[in-house]
Amino acid sequence: MATTTIEVISDPICSWCFLAHRVLLKAVQLYRRTVPNGSADHFNIIYLPYYLLDPATPLADKQELKDQSRNPRNRDRAYTRITQIGRAYGISFNFSDGKIGGTREAHRLIQLAQSRQSREVRDRILEGIFSAFHEKALDITDWDVLRSIAIGAGMQAKEVDEWKDDKNIGAEQLDFELGRARELVDDADTRGVPVVLVQGKYRFDGAPDVAELLEAFSSIKNGNDEVQNHTSAGQC
């Protein structure tokens, strides 16, 4: 049985990060179904936090930020592109409705789930936060929204409420992971997210496609130690 460690640097308010999350899940699923003995292999997926906005950023309307774009034509072209790609992975992006703000508490919830819960619960929380912001136009800076996502994903209400009431829970680990993520992002010229690191050898700056990930997984399984860097679909 082979174990592949994947580190994903992302921020919930980044549409390309949502796409990368879905692509990664699809690639792992296909690998296990199609690669000989692939179902026995293990994937250790770790999500590292990144702030596209300062945590103290005041809450604002998505549409207001959208209207501030210096190049509306390029903006609309980019939205059309990711909307089409997202649709192929079951994502219905909503770029106009809802609020946007700092994501520290969302990251702290993800870190809590990652350190104390099963991968399945962690993935449901990630999915819930991404979908809440990008599809349902919910405010992921709101405690009640995050609490609902956590409990719906399978966390106990008592643990969620303790996390909600004590902002020190997971804070030190979160800040450590944030520092590591910033170092990794700053290593690249693009300096954006998502960044996907597979076994510390294959680096994807931007949302990779399924074929790229499958190739990386197979190469690692076959003992290929060559370091490779890729610039993929898009970043925030």
The pair of structure tokens assigned to 200 is: 């510390």
Structural domains in the chain, CATH included, are: 3-231 (3.40.30.10)
202 burial class (0-12, 13-18, 19+ CB within 10 angstroms)?
Answer: buried
Closest-CA residue to 181 (of 170, 172, 193): 193
- Give residue 146's Cα distance to chain centre: 16
Q: Where are the beta strands (DSSP E) in 25-133?
A: 42-49, 60-61, 99-100
- In order along its 236 residues, the chain shows pLDDT tens digits of 778 999 999 999 999 999 999 999 999 999 999 888 878 888 999 999 999 999 988 898 888 776 666 566 777 788 889 999 999 999 999 988 999 999 999 999 999 999 887 889 999 999 999 999 999 999 999 999 999 999 999 999 999 998 888 888 778 889 999 999 998 888 766 678 999 999 988 999 999 999 999 999 988 887 766 666 766 668 88
Name residue 82's amino acid: I
Q: What confidence tens digit (pLDDT) does each residue in 172-201 have? A: 889 999 999 998 888 766 678 999 999 988
Note whether 163 and 169 are within 8 A (CB).
yes
111-135 burial, b if ≥16 CB within 10 A, otherwise e? bbbbeebeeebbbbbbbbbbbbbbb
